[in-house]
Amino acid sequence: MKEKFVTYIKKLQNEITSALEDIDGKAKFKEDKWTRQEGGGGQTRVIENGAVFEKGGVNISEVFGKLPDSMQAYFGVKDADFFACGLSLVLHPKNPKVPTVHANWRYFEMYDAEGNIVDSWFGGGQDLTPYYLFEEDAKHFHQICKNACDAHNLEFYETYKKRCDEYFWNAHREEARGIGGIFFDYLKETETMKMQDWYNFVTEVGNSFLESYLPIVEKRKNLPYSEENRTWQEIRRGRYVEFNLVHDKGTLFGLKTNGRIESILMSLPPVVQWKYDHQPEIGSEEEKLIEVLKNPKDWIN
């Protein structure tokens, strides 16, 4: 399964970076292959200063070795080895009318002292973080997520949409990071879902990513914007940074397993502001966004 999924994410990385270069029209991804001293490595691809994307990364990693003591305590195991692979992407557009997007799809195995697999699971999802709310974009993104879920189980979308709203929640701000999407973790084998079934589901979601995001980029990338719009975007980017550094489990796992810092922190936007006690103007488009972030919506019904 791990070899199968590694093959898949390598192919998906090629498809996504190629499509993003086409829609940007100016910048190209720079590739950085790296190795991890304890075992494994990865392939980081970063795009910067493009016509559409100010900064973005589409990274794959394949790491293995002894599970650090802190993570053994977290999982409640002893003397365990692990294997983890996945694709993770974050795209920060230049135009404030185009939303930031994040997605990742990953697979994890844990082994005992004899090298036997004692646990394995899939995780991942995709979510949208707009700076200005276009409801038709939110509905489109969620509908594509729902279509991918419905192909496997009609209960998946509602379940994983709710988990996404719960996970990407900046508790210290009492607001969501964005308008959500779907999020799933610890997808393990059951009587009704074998690991092959989960593989089929996760890859279906991965394959739906470009359809969920690129039509939104195409529609919004040439809209006019002001310096005030950019300031708002940079303030909201600050909230994005707060979530990733305070709450995100993926960042935590990378830091605790001696992951590659440049790849882990690739998700952070290039230009950010923290204004003291900034409040959007009452009745403004900015306030409209905040209201939705404080009260996650059902975008399908």
Distances (CA, A) of 181 to 5, 22, 42, 106, 148: 22, 25, 26, 17, 12
Closest CA to 272 of 300, 245, 299, 301: 245
SS3 56: strand
Q: Which residues pair with 180 in a beta bridge?
A: 128
* pLDDT band for position 249 (cuts 50, 70, 90): confident
DSSP string computed for 111-176: E-TTS-EEEEEEEEEEEEE-SS--HHHHHHHHHHHHHHHHTT-TTHHHHHHHHHHHHTEETTTTEE
Is the pLDDT at 18 greater than 90, yes or no?
A: yes
Which residue is associated with the tokens 């990953």?
A: 106
**Catalytic (active site) residue 140:** no
What's the rounded Cα separation, in Å, for the pair 102 and 89? 6
Query: Considering the chain, what percentage of its residues have pLDDT values greater than 70?
Result: 99
**Looking at residue 297, what is its pLDDT?**
95
| Domain ranges across the chain | 2-294
DSSP class per residue in 11-36: HHHHHHHHHHHHHHSS--PEEEEEE-
User: Which tokens hold the place of 58?
Assistant: 């589409």
pLDDT recorded at residue 254: 78
State the catalytic residue, choosing from 92, 102, 140, 142.
102
Cross-strand partners of 166? none
Alpha carbon distance 5, 203 (integer Å): 9
User: Which tens digits make up the pLDDT trace of 62-86?
Assistant: 999 887 776 777 777 777 889 999 9
- Going from the C-alpha of 194 to that of each of 51, 111, 201, the distances in angstroms are 44, 19, 11
Please state, in angstroms and rounded to a whole number, the distance separating the CA atoms of residues 53 and 35.
27
* CA dist., res. 149 & res. 144, Å (int): 9
From CA 40, how far away is CA 186, in angstroms rounded?
22
Distance CA 163, CA 127 (A): 11
In the chain, the percentage of residues whose pLDDT exceeds 90 is 83
Q: Which residues contact 258 (CB under 8 A, 6 or more apart)?
A: 36, 37, 38, 68
User: What six digits make up the tokens of 137?
Assistant: 């974009």
3-state secondary structure of 64: strand
The pTM (predicted TM-score) of the whole model is 0.94
Question: CB burial class (10 A; 0-12, 13-18, 19+) of residue 237?
Answer: buried
- pLDDT for 294 equals 97
Query: What would the pLDDT profile of 111-167 be if each residue is shown by its tens digit?
Result: 988 888 989 999 999 999 999 999 999 999 999 999 999 999 999 999 999 999 999
Domain 2-294 superfamily per CATH: Coproporphyrinogen III oxidase, aerobic (3.40.1500.10)
Q: How many CA atoms lie within 13 A of 229 on its CB side?
A: 16
SS3 81: strand
